[in-house]
Structure 1
Amino acid sequence: MDSRTLRANTLLMLTAMIWGFAFVAQRIGMAHVGPFTFNGIRFALGGLSLIPVMIAAGRPHRDIAHPSFRSGSTMLMTGGVLAGVALFAGASLQQVGLLYTTAGKAGFITGLYVVLVPIVGLVWKQSTDVGTWLGAFLAAVGLYFLSVTEQFTISFGDFLELLGAVVWAGHVLLIGWFSPKISAIRLSFIQFMVCSGLSLATAAATETVTLQGLAEAMPAILYGGIGSVGIAYTLQVVAQKHAKASHAAIILCMESPFAALGGWLLLDEMMSGRTLFGCGLMLFGMLVSQIYPQILSRSRRRRPGKA
């Protein structure tokens, strides 16, 4: 492994750690403000933190204020709004779900989007493989041990996180379709601002906000906005310039164990043997869904051609 690859993988692992511990920050923040207030400010900060990234990428500050940026192309605005609505739906389900479940369980259930992306992609007639279905099966069994009780019930929080995982999968597909055609950074900026606007509008209609609550929640909001959205996003972009896509996907799966570790260290969340077994199966299923296509691709390259 050369130094550039090692550096890229290290940055990706740091990204996964930041995202994993963000589940802890989200739970801590909601002790003082509502879920929509938290998300509204968080994504506003995340969007604003991308301005230096756009400047560093050679996009002058005047581009942001220029009418052409505000109006944008049809593709940019359509992609930004659609991705922003999907982001709002996924983030809202995740944030509200965290009111009723632990950070560790939320991290693992949310991580199911890795397996669900190719399955949801079938709607767009995208092909999938045996590894995806095997990974989905293992993850589903793991989810049973993690969230389903012996009375075959699932907690409200876990159910919301599961719905959120489906939305996250759709969001990934949207980003995957739009990002090659337009500026990924501008797309992210618009989707963060759309998500923030929808969250703040919902908060204004459903939540009571106090200055004291905002002040007490601000450290968690700053971590969730600048750390999880701004810094981690930038690290991912920088790292994936030199990391293989397959390696990146596998390393980023570690977000789930970091969420469980953070919940244990900072929130005293404990997991039973049944829950840990479920987490292990889910993580294994995520890894299988990512590793199998690479093994299949290598075997095909090594296979001798027909005469």
Structure 2
Amino acid sequence: MTRSQANLVLLSVALIWGLAFVAQAEGMAGVGPLTFTGIRFLLGAVIVLPLAWREWQQRSPHRMPARAGDVFGVGALGVLLMLGAALQQIGITGTTVTNAGFLTALYVPLVPLLASLLLRTRPHWSVWPTSLGCLGGTWLLAGAQGLAPAAGDLWVVGSSLFWALHVLFVGRIAERIAAPFLIACGQFLVCGIGSLLWGTLTETITLDGIRQALLPIGYAGIVSVAIGFTAQVIGQRYAQPSDAAIMLSAETVFAALFGYLLMGERLHAAGIVGCALILACIIIVQIAPLHAARHRARAG
């Protein structure tokens, strides 16, 4: 796969995930947010299962059994995925698709901040101004007109913390286990089962409601979870990190575009400025360290 083809794959992933925000909003007509999340990720697990089974068979001849620590790690990823997805889905019931897309993306500057706190890694200097920029963009997007942010906005902001923790640890666990589809399937199963169990305690689940939400659930599960995550893995194997950062950041733009085209959402002027500020900070915080690393490599 060429670099341009990989970039096109990643841009397609961003489009898929941007449209998924609309599906997540539309799916709330028939089921609750936890039920939607549970069925969505279980469906994704079923789609990925054949690839996970193939990886398991490839590991068996080499006598690479699953260790307790590996199982715990995948389970922990599933819990983080569940919390991020569930809080985001709850938030979507009380905010717009556009706000949800941009506020979810706050996880990008959170990742290096959490790495500094939890893993004692030194973040690039760009983390600090971009984090402040994201805070400013969030204020402009959610509450610049003198009103308190909507409850849905706060739920989505909360979900970004768990998305950041998931991103922070998924690479470390995947590097140790070296079985990406097994990890994906395992975490999808934990997320789906946990969300459904949570939903049975707090929501009313009916077959009529599930049938009503079947199309959005199908898109979110098959296209967004199974195809989107798999295509991301493939694309990032061949794309330059800087290219991948820009392409995947377009998810927020696609969420706003589809919110405008399909749901008639509109932003006030301050909201547009806030979205632009968040997107700029997301790109800068990913690109700046890569350029610094290239400069050091050339100097060396």
Classify the TM-score, shorter chain.
over 0.9
Letter in 1 for 2:132: F
What percentage of residue pairs aligned between the two structures are identical? Answer: 38
Structure 1: runs of 5+ lacking an equivalent: none
Deviations 1:202-248 (A, max 9, x none): 11111112222111101000100010000111111111221122321
Aligned partner of 2:142 in structure 1 is 147
| Mapped pair 1:103 → 2:103 | no
Q: Tell me if 1:90 matches 2:90.
A: no
For 2:67 and 2:168, how far apart are their aligned partners in 1? 20
Aligned residue in 2 for 1:47: 45
Separation of aligned partners in 1, 2:55 and 2:224: 23
Q: 1:218: which partner in 2? A: 214
One of 250, 255, 260 as aligned partner of 2:256: 260
What CA distance in whole angstroms lies between the structure 2 residues aligned with 1:234 and 1:171?
16
- How far did 1:59 drift? 4.6
Q: Secondary structure at the match of 2:30?
A: coil
Single out whichever of 240-249 and 166-175 deviates more from structure 2: 240-249
* CA distance in 1 between partners of 2:230 and 2:144 (Å): 40
Find the partner of 2:24 among 26, 42, 53. 26
Does the CA-based 8 Å contact 2:130-2:284 persist in structure 1?
yes
Q: Distance in 2 between matches of 1:302 and 1:176?
A: 27
Displacement of 1:140 in angstroms is 1.4
**Aligned to 2:174, which of 163, 174, 179?**
179
Question: What corresponds to 2:278 in structure 1?
Answer: 282
Cα deviation 1:3-34 (Å, max 9, x = unaligned): 71010000000001101110100000011110
Name the SS for the 1:269 alignment partner.
coil
User: C-alpha distance in 1, partners of 2:128/2:59?
Assistant: 48
Given the superposition, is the C-alpha separation of residues 150 and 269 from structure 1 closer, same or farther in structure 2, using an over 3 Å criterion? closer
Give 1 or 2: higher helix fraction.
2
C-alpha RMSD of matched pairs (Å): 2.0
CA contact (8 A) 2:144 2:270 kept: no
Give the Cα–Cα distance (whole angstroms) in 2 for the partners of residues 149 and 279 of structure 1.
Answer: 12
Q: Does 1:114 align with 2:114?
A: no
Q: Is the 8 A contact 2:48 2:185 kept in 1?
A: yes
Unpaired segments ≥5 residues, structure 2: none
Match of 2:8 in 1: 10
